[in-house]
């Protein structure tokens, strides 16, 4: 299938590892020109050949400065993938007490998971409209099952879903398609790495890290029996970004191994 992405210019945030890195690789495999951003690059990202522009998107002016730098290199922009995100990774009481985080915790989580996407999209929208391009926001299954993650993160991702759907209505007639992808529990360093969320939980509970990781699919009700591979998320993102999918507007594609049970 020709996804018509050859020569298209794409900006991917949170691109240094995990889902973002997989997205970069997938676009490059389709012949797209990728600009990748994160606070810091990684050897894996450098090896892709993507153009790297450092940015801290959790700051108020970080997204605008990023887009200005990207468009200053080349005014074309055909697709934006808002993948930058994360949460408060402290395991202590994060499920038992929904307000274990203070105001700064909530503000920081919303800054990275919602505000960064809003500000980056707003800055990039004129260029995307010129190209009749697309935006894909990376959400989380916790937005629809908020008991499965710290509440600030779940709430921020739920807000991102509302932003995605509302913006799709506002920009669709102008030719900018906006969609989201909802991953379930995904095999990334953020979740299962040696310094990831599960490692912190294992230390807190006094259990073996590898055993806790192995039990995650069953714990989350994933009928696939395995965590989601980042490459699967990337394939959904590339397809939603493709001009070959002009009717995909305001959708939210779930890739979760059957984790979410609602129809």
Residue 95 bears catalytic tag? no
Report how far apart the first and last C-alpha atoms of the chain are (Å, whole number). Answer: 29
Q: Which of 27, 110, 153, 163 is catalytic?
A: 153
Which residues are catalytic, by number? Answer: 153
């Amino acid at each position: 299938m020709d996804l018509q992405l050859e020569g298209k210019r794409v900006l991917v945030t949170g691109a240094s590892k995990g889902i973002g890195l997989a997205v970069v690789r997938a676009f490059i495999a389709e012949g797209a020109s990728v600009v990748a951003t994160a606070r810091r690059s990684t050897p894996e990202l450098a090896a892709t050949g993507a153009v790297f522009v450092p940015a801290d998107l959790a700051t108020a002016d970080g997204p605008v400065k990023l887009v200005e730098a990207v468009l200053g290199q080349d005014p074309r922009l055909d697709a934006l993938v808002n993948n930058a995100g994360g949460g408060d990774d402290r395991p202590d009481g994060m499920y038992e007490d929904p307000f274990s985080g203070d105001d700064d915790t909530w503000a920081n989580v919303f800054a990275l998971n919602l505000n960064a996407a809003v500000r980056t999209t707003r800055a990039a929208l004129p260029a995307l409209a010129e190209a009749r391009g697309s935006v894909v926001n990376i959400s989380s299954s916790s937005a629809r099952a908020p008991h499965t993650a710290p509440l600030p993160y779940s709430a921020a991702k739920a807000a991102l879903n509302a932003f995605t759907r509302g913006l799709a209505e506002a920009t669709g007639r102008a030719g900018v398609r906006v969609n989201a992808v909802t991953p379930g529990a995904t095999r990334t360093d953020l979740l299962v790495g040696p310094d990831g969320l599960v490692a912190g939980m294992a230390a807190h509970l006094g259990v073996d890290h590898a055993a806790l990781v192995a039990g995650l699919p069953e714990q989350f009700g994933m009928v696939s029996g395995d965590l989601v591979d980042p490459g699967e998320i990337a394939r959904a993102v590339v397809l939603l970004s493709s001009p070959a999918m002009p009717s995909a507007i305001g959708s939210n594609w779930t890739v979760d191994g059957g984790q979410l049970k609602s129809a």
